[in-house]
Structure 1
Amino acid sequence: MSDALLDVRDLVVRYGTVTAVDHVSFTVDAGETLALNGPSGCGKSSTIAAVLQLRRPEGGEVRFEGRELTTLAERELRPLRPRMQPVFQDPYGSLSPRHRIRDAVAEPLKVQGRWNTADGPARVAELLDRVGLDPAYGDRFPHELSGGQCQRAGIARALASEPRLLVLDEPVSALDPSIRAGVLNLLADLQDELNLAYLFICHDRAVVRHFADRSIEMRAGRLVPA
């Protein structure tokens, strides 16, 4: 049995008669960045949905921290979900426009029963500071932040769950080129500090070469030689 943090074996995802992911296998070790590269429509999004168990695959295994996820009931998955957190492509779409940033970052703590009024606000301020945001930005709404600031808030929200794996779904492709490097540098620093593993979805080969430890490439639902 693999000792990888994430071990995906022969993953199959279908939509009716269409096979979106066709026997895809890969591993991600603790503290490692694996890039999943490929053009739009190649199956990347379906792969990560199955990894996160947002969609149940039709075949294969997804092992996280040694546990096979695809056979678990939702109540059994619930304690594991905080350990695998997504960061989405659209920084504005990933946060509710009706919630202030502080409330968005606090929400995972409240859902997981780890919020209390004594130290909760300080924890939110700490998370915002960790991603390079002035804690005063917690009073703002997403539309009052720049794209880069909003993506940093989304990263802070993901970190609130104290994950071991972040699934980074094109996390800088919607940002201005001048801002991308700062967000990537932040992610690299967080990985060093927290020993995070990243499954990094990206179509930009230059970014992949700079940021990832390893890369795999998908075409038409299958892995192909990079």
Structure 2
Amino acid sequence: MTHLLDVRDLVVHYGTVTAVDGVSLTLEPGETLALDGPSGCGKSTTALAVLQLRRPDAGEVRFEGVELTSLTERELRPLRPRMQPVFQDPYGSLNPRHRIRDAVAEPLKVQGRWTEADGPTRVAELLDRVGLAPSYGARRPHELSGGQCQRAGIARALASDPRLLVLDEPVSALDPSVRAGVLNLLADLQDDLGLGYLFICHDRAVVRHFADRVVEMRDGRLVT
């Protein structure tokens, strides 16, 4: 059986420091796998290596059966839209100078799927899908709340029609009052689209509520 994501013996070094040491995990379509552990244990580095934003020093990362670590950047390019990140800082992940509609439209333009006839409608549909009125597209990130900005970041990720979202602490920077709304949105999107989620989190209450499976990291290694 081909997993959506299959990571084997992943190793990442930063100089003489081993940030990720032999991590192996699998993820299926429609499943949420949580990577739990304290700050500095290697969770985010694992996420970057899965996305090939930080090339690992050893190990394999198979996405939909394709081994990624041996591919060149040019060979990776067609695959990148299908695996998208959602980062911790909702403001830092969007260009402060760009209006929200332009941020959401950017993946469509980069991937050659934008047309003046259909593009604006697609952007409005994506904003609506994450619970933002299309009028929010005219605003810039600083004009949105943290929760609204994170929803815009999710819309931007969805523009690429991904199969995998790597969610790196997606609600830890949000007020407790809005976390549930964003988590419920992610759950609804998963049900509707069959997305797989690699969910990086250190809040065990959130992990227990949201994840199908949990693996724990300590000092770069999986301990469960």
Partner of 2:209: 210
CA distance in 1, matches of 2:39, 2:111: 34
| Within-5 A mapping of 1:40-189 | 40-189=39-188
Deviations 1:83-106 (A, max 9, x none): 000000000000000000000000
Query: Is there any run of 5+ residues in structure 2 with no aligned partner, and where?
Result: none
Partner of 1:17: 16
SS in 2 for 1:218: strand
Deviations 1:35-54 (A, max 9, x none): 00000000011101110001
Q: For residue 209 of structure 1, what is the amino acid of its counterpart?
A: R
Query: Is there any run of 5+ residues in structure 1 with no aligned partner, and where?
Result: none
Question: What RMSD in Å do the two structures reach over aligned CA positions?
Answer: 0.5
SS in 2 for 1:56: coil
Shift of 1:55: 1.1
CA distance in 1, matches of 2:144, 2:54: 31
Deviations 1:191-212 (A, max 9, x none): 0000000000000001000000
Partner of 2:34: 35
CA distance in 1, matches of 2:195, 2:67: 20
Q: For residue 74 of structure 2, what is the amino acid of its counterpart?
A: R
Q: For residue 117 of structure 1, what is the amino acid of its counterpart?
A: E
After the TM superposition, list the runs of 4 or more consecutive aligned residues in structure 1 that deviate by more than 3 angstroms.
none
Q: For residue 10 of structure 2, what is the amino acid of its counterpart?
A: L
Deviations 1:115-152 (A, max 9, x none): 00000000000000000000000000000000000000
CA distance in 2, matches of 1:134, 1:84: 26
SS in 2 for 1:172: coil
Q: For residue 137 of structure 2, what is the amino acid of its counterpart?
A: G
Q: For residue 72 of structure 1, what is the amino acid of its counterpart?
A: L
CA distance in 2, matches of 1:181, 1:54: 29
The two structures have a TM-score, normalised by structure 2, of 0.99
SS in 1 for 2:56: coil
Partner of 2:222: 223
Q: For residue 95 of structure 1, what is the amino acid of its counterpart?
A: L
Identity of aligned residues (%): 84
SS in 1 for 2:112: coil
CA distance in 2, matches of 1:102, 1:186: 19
CA distance in 1, matches of 2:156, 2:33: 22
